[in-house]
């Protein structure tokens, strides 16, 4: 699973937060916080994150704007095909504002964007905003349901596996769990989707093969999206939980002679969760990306098929808008995760300098 690798290489916005096992390094903060009155670092943290979000959004918008200008050749000619009349081409060029200097185009683009005007699709001649408004909710619904399914299954499963296989106990369980999880997480969602269609729609026609029509139609797409992440996520949760269980403060908790459930739930879990939270941000972003493929296979009325067809048709206004939507979603998800991390782990607000 790609999001796992990104996580492990320290991706994510608040990289230092991952892996509680690295917490020894955090002692660097203690210069002498002894007697100084503590000003809450929260406000600054929130502010920095907001500034970062805004800057990133601007970068994204600029990227989306540039797409059309980075395309080799004449984008309009490309979009309309070789046999479009020169008049049509030049009228579309004018409509897109291609006659203006680049910086004016940029300003116009920004202006349009903030007034909610996303332009008109070159292929369907429909307003892009409307298309997105119709399709986005379906995509979000799919991604969010898959996300919830992953979290609800993977986190308890990972914790359970950690407790069961603590230092070398139940080697067999550990081995089969890791093997299954490695194999399942190596199967990309579009292959899972094909396999699921074959098994549960073609061979055994239990679920609809395509379309969005009632609860049953959600089963296969959600399963295709969620299976891999469940495998990967539960593995990571297990490793993180094991790492947390090996930390010194767990020994302190044992020295207090707390009962086992209390050590696991009150001390280990919250600490393993910070890692899980970091991961869940990447996971949700990954799921959003995964919908593109899964929607295409299941003919889901979401944004994915439109993104693909707009790229194939060189329908740049639509491409630009969809890039903005997906990109914005990713940025937003990360922003929220960051804030949650700040809430869950009091050190993260201070750690970054």
Residue nearer to another protein on the CB measure, 91 or 206:
206
Q: Please state the closest distance from residue 47 (CB atom) to another protein, in A.
A: 14
Residue nearer to another protein on the CB measure, 218 or 316:
316
- Rounded Cα distance between 75 and 52, Å, is 32
Q: Please state the closest distance from residue 250 (CB atom) to another protein, in A.
A: 6
Residue nearer to another protein on the CB measure, 90 or 346:
346
Residue nearer to another protein on the CB measure, 90 or 266:
266
Coil/strand/helix, residue 294: helix
Look up residue 260 and give its two tokens: 């086992």
- Rounded Cα distance between 229 and 310, Å, is 28
Q: 241 φ, ψ to 5°? A: -65, -40
Q: Please state the closest distance from residue 168 (CB atom) to another protein, in A.
A: 6
Coil/strand/helix, residue 127: strand
Q: Please state the closest distance from residue 155 (CB atom) to another protein, in A.
A: 17
Residue nearer to another protein on the CB measure, 75 or 218:
75
Coil/strand/helix, residue 300: coil
Q: Please state the closest distance from residue 87 (CB atom) to another protein, in A.
A: 26
Residue nearer to another protein on the CB measure, 151 or 319:
319
Exposed/middle/buried for 205, CB within 10 Å: 0-12, 13-18, 19+? exposed
Nearest to 285 by CA among 324, 332, 348, 319: 332
Q: CA angle 42-44-47, nearest 5°?
A: 110
Q: Please state the closest distance from residue 316 (CB atom) to another protein, in A.
A: 8
Spatial neighbors of 325 by CB under 8 A, at least 6 apart, are 132, 136, 303
């Amino acid at each position: 699973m790609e999001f796992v690798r990104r996580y492990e290489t320290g991706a994510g916005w608040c990289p230092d937060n991952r892996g509680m096992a690295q917490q020894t390094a955090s002692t660097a903060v203690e210069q002498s916080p002894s007697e100084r009155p503590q000003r809450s670092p929260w406000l600054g943290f929130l502010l920095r994150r907001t500034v970062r979000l805004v800057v990133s959004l601007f970068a994204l918008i600029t990227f989306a704007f540039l797409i059309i200008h980075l395309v080799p050749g004449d984008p309009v000619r490309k979009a309309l095909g070789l046999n479009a009349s020169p008049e049509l081409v030049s009228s579309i060029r004018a409509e897109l504002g291609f006659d203006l200097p680049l910086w004016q185009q940029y300003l116009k683009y920004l202006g349009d964007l903030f007034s909610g005007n996303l332009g008109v699709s070159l292929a369907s001649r429909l307003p892009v905003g409307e298309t997105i408004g119709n399709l986005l909710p379906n995509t979000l619904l799919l991604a969010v349901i898959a996300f919830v399914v992953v979290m609800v299954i993977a986190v308890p499963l990972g914790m359970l596996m950690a407790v069961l296989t603590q230092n070398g106990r139940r080697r067999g369980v550990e081995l089969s769990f890791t093997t299954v999880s490695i194999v399942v997480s190596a199967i990309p969602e579009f292959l899972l989707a094909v396999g699921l269609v074959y098994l549960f729609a073609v061979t055994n026609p239990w679920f609809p093969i395509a379309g969005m029509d009632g609860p049953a139609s959600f089963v296969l797409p959600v399963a295709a999206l969620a299976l891999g992440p469940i495998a990967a996520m539960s593995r990571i949760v297990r490793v993180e939980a094991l790492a947390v269980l090996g930390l010194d403060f767990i020994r302190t908790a044992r020295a207090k002679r707390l009962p086992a459930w209390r050590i696991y739930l009150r001390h280990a879990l919250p600490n393993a969760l910070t890692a899980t939270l970091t991961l869940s941000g990447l996971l949700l972003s990954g799921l959003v990306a995964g919908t593109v493929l899964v929607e295409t296979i299941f003919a889901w009325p979401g944004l994915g098929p439109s993104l693909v067809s707009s790229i194939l048709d060189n329908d740049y206004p639509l491409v630009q808008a969809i890039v903005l939507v997906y990109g914005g979603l990713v940025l937003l998800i990360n922003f929220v995760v960051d804030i949650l991390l700040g809430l869950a782990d009091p050190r993260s607000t201070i750690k970054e300098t």
